[in-house]
Amino acid sequence: MARPVNLLYRLYERRLKRELDKSVPVPRHVGVITDGNRRWAKEFGATTADGHRAGAAKIVEFLGWCHEIDVEIVTLYVLSKENLARSAEEVSILIEIISDLVEKIAALDGVGVQLVGDLEIVPADLRARLEAVTTTADCGMRVNVAVGYGGRQEIVNAVKSLLRTRADDGTDLESIISELSPEQIGEHLYTKGQPDPDLIIRSSGEQRLSGFLMWQSAYSEFYFCEAYWPDFRRTDFLRAVRDYGLRQRRFGK
């Protein structure tokens, strides 16, 4: 027999899903900061590796939820530039788990994988495995996997790329300065050609971006959830989407 609490959650999920089916706008692009794996592991007396594995399993589940409501793009913040400064043992574990995760995502039907981040700072073995499953083909859902990612560095790299391109075209410095625009910089970001995220979700109760999509999130809606990422439920996701759908987006107007 199902526990009463589980039954209530299922009934609540159905109600949330019905609300979404009644013309509530669904975000086209969802970003997610998958935070809290280590704290989850500590709370349950598990190892750090167990926490990261549980978080990876939740990502696959999360993508299924996104697919159910026709989200087109998901950007996952799985490995920041700063994360690479953790202990060699933990980084080694992360590399293996992330490699396995991305291969699983790439194997999902109708899903395309794109890497976003500074791959030059990512360990060579991880970079090789990730690049092997990257695809540029059209697909039902695009999944951006942020590895070796830093928001400030992305902007710096975009400006460098723009300046290099214009210089190669023979454009003089004064013209580059006078013609510089946000749109030009946007064309050199990791997510170039994609719409900015409509909704950004962060788990674990932390209420900050930690450098995630700093440029692209100017007019994103944010949803912060107390649950650690391995405990993030479909109910939490549907709440976030419902909350997004009920907001009035003004885009600064």
Q: Could you list the active site residues?
A: 35, 83
> Is position 161 annotated in a ligand binding site?
no
Cα atoms in the Cβ-side hemisphere of radius 13 Å centred on 27: 33
d(CA 137, CA 1): 46
> Is position 13 annotated in a ligand binding site?
no
> Is position 36 annotated in a ligand binding site?
yes
DSSP 214: T
> Is position 52 annotated in a ligand binding site?
yes
List, in order, residues 6 or more apart from 99 with CB less than 8 Å away.
Answer: 125, 126, 129, 130
Residue 109: CB atoms within 10 Å: 8
> Is position 209 annotated in a ligand binding site?
yes
> Is position 210 annotated in a ligand binding site?
yes
Residue 46: CB atoms within 10 Å: 16
Nearest C-alpha neighbor of 121 from the set 99, 93, 149? 149
Distances (CA, A) of 81 to 105, 116, 149, 190, 213: 22, 12, 5, 15, 13
> Is position 80 annotated in a ligand binding site?
yes
> Is position 160 annotated in a ligand binding site?
no
> Is position 35 annotated in a ligand binding site?
yes
> Is position 81 annotated in a ligand binding site?
yes
Nearest C-alpha neighbor of 201 from the set 49, 57, 63? 63
Angle at 203 between CA 199 and CA 209, to 5 degrees: 60
Angle at 19 between CA 16 and CA 22, to 5 degrees: 155
> Is position 86 annotated in a ligand binding site?
yes
> Is position 39 annotated in a ligand binding site?
yes
> Is position 37 annotated in a ligand binding site?
yes
Q: Do 216 and 23 contact (CB within 8 A), yes or no?
A: no
Would strands 141-149 and 29-33 be described as parallel, antiparallel, or unpaired? unpaired
Q: Which residues sit in the known binding site for Mg(2+)?
A: 35, 221
Q: Which residues sit in the known binding site?
A: 35-40, 52, 80-82, 86, 202, 208-210, 221
Q: Which residues sit in the known binding site for substrate?
A: 36-40, 52, 80-82, 86, 202, 208-210
